[in-house]
Structure 1
């Protein structure tokens, strides 16, 4: 599961972002000032960090510089009321990956986080997914349960990767059709159900379950 950190001194914004991101299936920590944020970021391994510019103890730009000096590779997204070109350049020179000016849309922020994480995952040298005792090597096109290889067809493999990459996120049949079969929402969704059934059987000895939500779709969860 992707792990995120929010460093924001405004409690209302912090609570709203934490709720929205948790609803998307992310594990989310939060900090109310620069000192607490620095401690959490250096102690834990985060995939993305959302940082307010104006913070007690350390500013957002100071935190970004400290994170990059410490070798953190997390996606860093700055929230700021500053919109002058010099301020934006300062943030990017410090090492941010993206920024949003306040007031901002939480939906836009979550969309940007998802886009950055998707690109970071695609560019990963390891190209490896592990959920529970199921491990997937994208480069070797292999799936293992407790280090024991299981045989999947190409479509089953692609379907498993899509579900595990969106762990705890409900995916509709139309989304799955479009992603795996490239249908533009007019294909026969029964093909999804058939492949889910076959995939469930092959994952029977794992601690990953593909649950169905009647009339909605499917979601992969670890048990």
Structure 2
């Protein structure tokens, strides 16, 4: 699920927005100042940004977010047309005027994320310690990229999409290597071994089911 950076200096409002976002399954990063927000931009998939902040105007955060391609929803008490135009000119995706409905805010967040080219739903395992990005063929373990071959990635992705389900070697060959693959089930075993080595401390994720095949499970047993 997406990481939402909430930049709002009113602590009560910041926490209310946070609660609603978390109820929808989003991860939330909080900031109460522009400088704090600038230091957390790289963690965000989307920003909810108040313009009136204690240290500097939120427009400065908006400018930097736009450079990085991070979609931003402006949240402010300023309702003049000039302020809205300025926000859109600087790259804002949407503009919500206080007071507002939390349900409307959530709906707008979902719309903006669907429009965002940079956002991609990932598969998170072990509370995010292992994260798989299907469209980018990318795997992150403990915050660091893992260098997988194309087939290692497809194998991990197939098992992750079928978490806790046992898959036979023949089925893995068919789904990952394809119907026309000329080879033997030993190919699967070799790739499983290599994949486990690259997962390091989390090699236990891929379990052997003797006489059947393999499954991916977050249980350590």
Same fold (TM over 0.5): yes
Say how many residue pairs are matched.
158
Instruction: Trace 1:165-180 onto structure 2 (pairs within 5 A).
Output: none
User: Match of 1:219?
Assistant: none
Give the unaligned 5+ runs of structure 2. 138-149, 168-205, 207-213
CA offset at residue 84 of structure 1? Answer: 1.4
Instruction: Give the C-alpha shift of residue 119 in structure 1.
Output: 2.4
Q: Which runs of 5+ in 1 are unaligned?
A: 153-159, 161-195, 210-223
Q: Any idea what the Cα deviations from partners look like across 1:15-68, whole Å, max 9, x if unmatched?
A: 001111111111111111112112222xx3310011101101111112212333
Q: What corresponds to 1:192 in structure 2? A: none
The alignment partner of 1:205 has SS state of strand
Alpha carbons of structure 1 residues 200 and 134: separation in structure 2 relative to 1, 3 Å: farther
**Aligned pair 1:58/2:56, yes or no?**
yes
- Secondary structure at 1:149's aligned position in 2? helix
- The separation in 2 between residues aligned to 1:34 and 1:4, in whole angstroms, is 15
Instruction: Report SS of the residue matched to 1:82.
Output: coil
Distance change in 2, residues 1:35/1:137 (3 Å): closer
Specify which of 43, 46, 53 is matched with residue 45 of structure 1.
43
1:39 & 1:150 partners in 2: Cα distance?
33
Contact 1:54 1:80 in 2 (8 A): yes
Counterpart for residue 149 of structure 1: 155
Written as runs of structure 1 = structure 2, the 5 A alignment for 1:115-194 is 115-120=111-116, 123=117, 129-132=122-125, 135=132, 137=134, 147=153, 149=155
How far did residue 103 of structure 1 move?
A: 0.1
**Quick check: 1:134–1:206 contact (8 Å CA) kept in 2?**
no
Structure possessing the higher radius of gyration over alpha carbons: 2
Partner of 1:20: 20
Change over 3 Å in CA distance of 1:134–1:64 after alignment to 2: closer
1:77/1:98 contact within 8 Å kept: yes
C-alpha displacement at 1:201, in angstroms? 4.0
The verdict on how the C-alpha distance between 1:151 and 1:8 changes in structure 2, with shifts beyond 3 A counting, is closer
Other structure's SS at 1:147 match: helix
Describe the SS at the equivalent of 1:63. helix
TM-score for the superposition, normalised by structure 2: 0.59
Q: 1:130 to 1:87 in 2, by over 3 A?
A: same
- Kindly indicate whether residue 26 of structure 2 is the aligned counterpart of residue 30 of structure 1: no
- Deviation (angstroms), 1:74: 1.4
Contact 1:134 1:146 in 2 (8 A): no
Residue 206 of structure 1 corresponds to which residue in structure 2?
216
- TM-score of the pair, normalised by structure 1: 0.59
User: Which protein, 1 or 2, shows the higher relative CO under an 8 Å CA cutoff with sep ≥ 6?
Assistant: 1
